[in-house]
Amino acid sequence: MDRENMFINEDNITIMPSFRMGRHNELHGTNNASHQMQNFLSTPLWNNSVDQNDPFKSALSSMASSPANSNAAAAPPPPGGCTNDNIVVRELIGRLGSIYNSGEVSPQSYMNGNNRTNNSCYNTPLNSPPKLNLSMIDHQIRENLPNLQFPGNHFPAQSSLTQLTTDPGFAERAARYSCFAETNLGGLSGHQIHGLNESELQQRMENKMDYSGKLSRVSSNQSLVKISGSQAINAQENTDGDQKFSRLSRSSTPKKPEFGDSCENSSVSEQNPGGETGLNGHLNSKKRKSSSKGKGKDVPSSNSTQETNAATEINELSAKRSKSDGNENEKDGKPKGDENATNNSAGSGNKKEGKDNQKSTEPPKDYIHVRARRGQATDAHSLAERVRREKISQRMKFLQDLVPGCNKVTGKTVMLDEIINYVQSLQRQVEFLSMKLATIDPRMDVNLEGLLSKEMFQSCESAPSSTYALNNSAATYPFLFQSQQVQNLSINGALCHNIQHPPVEINKENTSQAATFFEDDLQSMIFGKSQAHDSQGEMPTGQMKVEQ
């Protein structure tokens, strides 16, 4: 990281103009409700950012804020790659601008930004405008935000802001690179430019609007951590490669106390998506949940679009992270949320972060949403156990409906006994029936013939060999009774007399007759009698139920 940043700083300037233009155009093109924001973001801001950047050249490499920087960072070693990157960057910038407008501007985020000025790299150019401007923007944006409907931003302005500002996972998850949220924060506060990796910027840029909501969440985590004990976090970030960043953050720490309240609130609300006690209230939290769920799905899709390998890797990481976060939030955050929300401090945030880091593995896809009630255990084992019990009780109920006389019974053991008895009785019945059939079988031909002859007269269809012709009958099954009835009548008579051993002499007519026989007799047999229990239609549905 450091290397790249340094590298980039030197080369940046040449590329700048093109970036600027692209950014301008795209920003204007975006549908953002706040036009003023765009203006701010446009050139004047840029100038500011540049000025600010000068002191921190290394920081400039940070990414997005200075398009040139991003380009340079992307292609520092290979000089030829700059042009391609530029295009990508432009696109990204345009998206960012839209994202930016949608959710970024919140007082809280603003506040956080001031505290953490270090974080935002790419934002700095955009956000770089002086604080006064930011405040102005914030007000305007607040008004506009509710109206704006970006996929990611379901929450009221405050919640969105808080989310954006607080962003624990971002830097860590992205492994090296800060997410949008950070950038947003930095942009708002934007005095100092942090060099975030270009790849991150690109990824985030590429990530669509939906992503912003997720990112904001992640960002929120970071803010929490910072608020609580910024230095530890800084150390982590430093490991990532941004030493300067850490320094800046440290320097910013003194300001924290001022904004402490807002920061804490935001952090709390973000940390506990389930526990909505924070500023946002229940509605907001619910929305967040939905958004968090959306995260997991959206992230992977965004990955596909990514062009560079590094970017893809980072995204994957972030996606995993976000997934795990979402699940954890759902699992752990909800149950604990009520209790913790009010008391939430940086400490809890840190703990959660640790958890997130540990649980980087992807959650099972067929995750069954289980919500622990108050006082219930929330660890994975007990949750899984609860799911299992639920499944078992469901199936027990199904079995109860299936087994006659089991409805009135209560208690697992009794039910099991009933089920066992029923199965045994059925098996016994099968045995008995097979015995019966065995005794009948020898006379089967005769019986069948007689039966068929009898029924032929009634239904005009009979095949002495019906049972024998079963295989063939399938093909001829479809034949209609009515059309063949007349023919069958004539044929049947002959058959009855002539054919004693049908298996040997099965011809097409027989088969057809057999088929018809099937229809009539078997249907009457099988379905007529059993209709009460299960008709043909019922069986499959029952199966479906069972299979579910």
Partner 1 sequence: MKMDHHIGLTSTHHGSIKTRFTHRFLYALKNLNKNKKPISYHKVKIAAYSSMASAVGSTRTWSRVMLRRIRRRQLRRASSVIFRRTIRRAKCIKNNGAKHQKNKVVSRNDEEDEGISKLRELVPGGEIMEFSSLLDESAHYIKCLNMQVQIMRNIADLLSSV
Write down the least CB distance from residue 441 to partner 1, Å. 5
Contacting range for partner 1; rule: CB under 8 A; set: 1-9, 160-168, 322-330, 390-398: 390-398
Quickly tell me which residue has 């950047």 as its tokens: 53
- Hey, what's the torsion of the CAs at 269, 273, 277, 279, to 10 degrees? 30
Quickly tell me which residue has 């990514």 as its tokens: 306
Q: Which residues contact 225 (CB under 8 A, 6 or more apart)?
A: 168, 232, 233, 346, 349, 350, 353
| Residue list 25-84, contact with partner 1 (CB under 8 A) | none
Does residue 370 belong to the site contacting partner 1 (CB under 8 A)?
Answer: no
Which of 54, 307, 362, 441 is in the footprint of partner 1 by CB under 8 A?
A: 441
**How many residues of this chain interact with partner 1, rule: CB under 8 A?**
69
Residue ranges of alpha helices (H) inside 306-345 are 309-328, 334-343
Which of 87, 384, 444, 494 is in the footprint of partner 1 by CB under 8 A?
A: 444
Q: Name the residue among 135, 73, 131 with its Cα closest to residue 107.
A: 135
Is the sign of the CA dihedral 126, 128, 130, 135 positive or negative? positive
Token pair of 421, please? 């008895």
Write down the least CB distance from residue 478 to partner 1, Å. 4
| Residue list 492-511, contact with partner 1 (CB under 8 A) | 503
Contacting range for partner 1; rule: CB under 8 A; set: 138-146, 358-366, 378-386, 395-403: 395-403
- Rounded CA-CA distance 341/347 in Å is 12
Write down the least CB distance from residue 513 to partner 1, Å. 14
Judged by beta carbon, residue 370 or residue 419, the one nearer partner 1 is: 419
Kindly list the distances between the CA atom of residue 402 and the CA atoms of 47, 195, 293, 395, in Å, as whole numbers in the listed order: 76, 66, 37, 10
Contacting range for partner 1; rule: CB under 8 A; set: 225-233, 333-341, 349-357, 422-430: 422-430
Is the sign of the CA dihedral 188, 190, 196, 198 positive or negative? positive
Judged by beta carbon, residue 87 or residue 433, the one nearer partner 1 is: 433
- Rounded CA-CA distance 237/226 in Å is 11
- Rounded CA-CA distance 368/256 in Å is 40
- Rounded CA-CA distance 178/123 in Å is 11
- Count other Cβ atoms within 10 Å, centred on residue 19: 22
Does residue 366 belong to the site contacting partner 1 (CB under 8 A)?
Answer: no
Contacting range for partner 1; rule: CB under 8 A; set: 100-108, 158-166, 244-252, 476-484: 476-484
Write down the least CB distance from residue 528 to partner 1, Å. 8
- Rounded CA-CA distance 202/305 in Å is 11
Judged by beta carbon, residue 54 or residue 441, the one nearer partner 1 is: 441
Binding mask 264-283 for partner 1 (x = CB under 8 A): --------------------
Q: Which residues contact 32 (CB under 8 A, 6 or more apart)?
A: 38, 97, 98, 100, 101, 102, 144, 148
Tell me the residue type at 341. Answer: A
Write down the least CB distance from residue 331 to partner 1, Å. 21
Does residue 3 belong to the site contacting partner 1 (CB under 8 A)?
Answer: no
Contacting range for partner 1; rule: CB under 8 A; set: 71-79, 196-204, 232-240, 430-438: 430-438
- Rounded CA-CA distance 455/445 in Å is 15
Q: What single DSSP character describes residue 527?
A: I
| Residue list 398-417, contact with partner 1 (CB under 8 A) | 398-399, 402-403, 412-413, 416-417
The radius of gyration of the chain from alpha carbons, rounded to an integer in Å, stands at 36
- Rounded CA-CA distance 252/265 in Å is 19
Contacting range for partner 1; rule: CB under 8 A; set: 204-212, 213-221, 241-249, 450-458: 450-458
Does residue 384 belong to the site contacting partner 1 (CB under 8 A)?
Answer: no
Judged by beta carbon, residue 304 or residue 413, the one nearer partner 1 is: 413
Judged by beta carbon, residue 377 or residue 420, the one nearer partner 1 is: 420
Does residue 435 belong to the site contacting partner 1 (CB under 8 A)?
Answer: yes
- Count other Cβ atoms within 10 Å, centred on residue 543: 10
Which of 438, 458, 482, 483 is in the footprint of partner 1 by CB under 8 A?
A: 438
Tell me the residue type at 149. Answer: Q
Is the sign of the CA dihedral 406, 409, 413, 418 positive or negative? negative
Judged by beta carbon, residue 56 or residue 479, the one nearer partner 1 is: 479
Does residue 520 belong to the site contacting partner 1 (CB under 8 A)?
Answer: no
Which of 297, 391, 497, 508 is in the footprint of partner 1 by CB under 8 A?
A: 391
Binding mask 222-251 for partner 1 (x = CB under 8 A): ------------------------------
By CB under 8 A, name the binding residues for partner 1: 388, 391-392, 395-396, 398-399, 402-403, 412-413, 416-417, 419-420, 422-424, 426-427, 429-431, 433-442, 444-445, 447-448, 450-451, 454, 467-468, 470-471, 473-475, 477-480, 503, 518-519, 521-522, 525-526, 529-530, 533-534, 536, 539-540, 542-543, 546-547
